[in-house]
Amino acid sequence: MAAYDVNGSAVEHDEEGYITNLSEWSKDLADVIAAAEEVNMTDEHWAVVNFLRDYYEEYQIAPAVRVLIKAIKKSLGPDVGNNKYMYELFPYGPAKQACKIAGLPKPTGCV
């Protein structure tokens, strides 16, 4: 199985790049995944990733993209919490790609 290299230690991921053991996530790993996804992590990226991790911790699911955007709009305002900007942050889909960087499973309902 393929793996990310985080400071010399291997973290396994599936064929789409989602890590297989959610407890192996770290901020360093997030940077490694983001680099593999060609995403340059800014504070706004981190805000989304942190929100996803908190949501998963509380509800045991990754939120659907519209739920994510609605929540980000509430916490960070409409300039960040809108479809267009979120896709600029995560071109391959804010839920799908951000979940991967956040070390979560692919969101329910994402094909």
- Close Cβ partners of 29 (under 8 Å, ≥ 6 residues apart): 4, 6, 11, 19, 103
Distance CA 68, CA 72 (A): 6
* Closer Cβ to another protein, 33 or 65, answer by number: 65
Per-residue binding string, another protein, 10-49, x by CB under 8 A, is: ----------------------------------------
Could you tell me which stretch among 26-34, 40-48, 64-72, 94-102 binds another protein (CB under 8 A)?
A: 64-72
Rounded to an integer, what distance in angstroms lies between the CA atom of residue 52 and that of residue 83?
16
Cβ within 8 Å of residue 67, ≥6 positions away: none
Residue 64 as a binder of another protein (CB under 8 A): the answer is yes
- Is residue 66 near another protein by the rule CB under 8 A? yes
Whether 110 is catalytic: yes
